[in-house]
Amino acid sequence: MNRVLVYIEHDDGVIAETSMQALTFGGGLGEVEVVSVGETALGGWQIQHPLLTDYAPEAIAESLAQLVGAEMPGVVLAGGTERGNEVMAHVAALLDLPLAANVTEVRPSGDAWDLTRIRWGGSLLEEATLTAIVKLATVAPHVIEAANFPFRAATVFTPELADELARTMVFERVTLSEGITLTTAPVVVSGGRGVGSPEGFAVLEELAGMLGGAVGCSRVVTNNGWRPHSDQVGQTGTRVAPNLYIACGISGAIQHWVGMMASKNVLAINNDAEAPMVTKADYAVIGDLHPILDAIVAEVRRRRAG
């Protein structure tokens, strides 16, 4: 049976949902083995080295390449995140192997894979064939529901790493927002140009707070300096998959849509009934977003009080 190594991203042991999705995806391709830097509750291969104190793509990739060289699995997967794609691109270069990034489906065909992958920020799906002795791929976020994965006995792998591999690494973390984050929030209240100003976001903040959610925005909003880039949803921002995405004054350009199309429900509030966001949404309210949001906030408050 194919051995499938899956590189797991985690933050102090908190495993990324996208990595759990990649693990689940890998389960359909063979016998899955977890690889992580340091310990996680999943066990498996644990890469340990004094250089690896935080995210360091070149050093992690070199470690993975050494592990692949030693173990020769048939497949190596990671989540199709910025970090997953970055690490796997380095691994591919080090091993001189092809990498299929952001894969949504694999159809094994003899020794090769016929696969589908997301290209151009989600604006097209590409059919491709991957032929390689070790197949390297990243799994596009949210193409599969993550399943639970049992603990497997841990095995420490200590790579040989030259000091210069730590030239790219995270050395400081700055918290921009406390509590619920955009990627994990069950509700995202997101604003676009239609919100009109930084102050216009106050009511979105209020609604997000009431619903236990987070505030997102479009690129126009970050370009205007109304919100930080960490709030931006889309191709060049964060990808989200909440239960409810409330798009306020957002037209629904493809570069925004790819960042939130995995949402379970979309409510569009827009004064243009023909806006792409409105035509694609599950629910829509047509009109000026400001009185509409004020009315929603007042109604939520009234029901809670009652």
Ligand X SMILES: Cc1cc2nc3c(=O)[nH]c(=O)nc-3n(C[C@H](O)[C@H](O)[C@H](O)COP(=O)(O)OP(=O)(O)OC[C@H]3O[C@@H](n4cnc5c(N)ncnc54)[C@H](O)[C@@H]3O)c2cc1C
Q: Which residues bind ligand X (CB under 6 A)?
A: 192-194, 218-221, 232-237, 249-251, 253, 255-256, 259, 270-272, 275, 288-289
Query: Taking the CB of residue 278, how many other CB atoms lie within 10 A of it?
Result: 22
Contact between 55 and 44 (Cβ < 8 Å): no
Ranges assigned E (strand) in 21-166:
31-37, 43-47, 75-79, 99-109, 112-119, 124-130, 135-139, 152-157
Rounded Cα–Cα distance for residues 189 and 198 (Å): 15
Closest distance to ligand X from the beta carbon of 145 (Å): 25
Contact between 263 and 241 (Cβ < 8 Å): yes
Closest distance to ligand X from the beta carbon of 269 (Å): 6
Residue 159 or 192 having the CB closest to ligand X: 192
Contact between 248 and 222 (Cβ < 8 Å): no
Residue 34 or 284 having the CB closest to ligand X: 284
Residue 66 or 271 having the CB closest to ligand X: 271
Closest distance to ligand X from the beta carbon of 100 (Å): 22
Residue 194 or 213 having the CB closest to ligand X: 194
What's the burial of 64, exposed, middle or buried (CB within 10 Å: 0-12/13-18/19+)?
buried
Location of structure tokens 């016929």:
114
Q: Measured in Å, how far apart are the chain's first and last C-alpha atoms? A: 59
Closest distance to ligand X from the beta carbon of 228 (Å): 14
Closest distance to ligand X from the beta carbon of 288 (Å): 4
Return the closest-CA partner of residue 238 out of 201, 206, 190, 276. Answer: 190
Residue 57 or 122 having the CB closest to ligand X: 122
Residue 96 or 199 having the CB closest to ligand X: 199
Closest distance to ligand X from the beta carbon of 286 (Å): 8
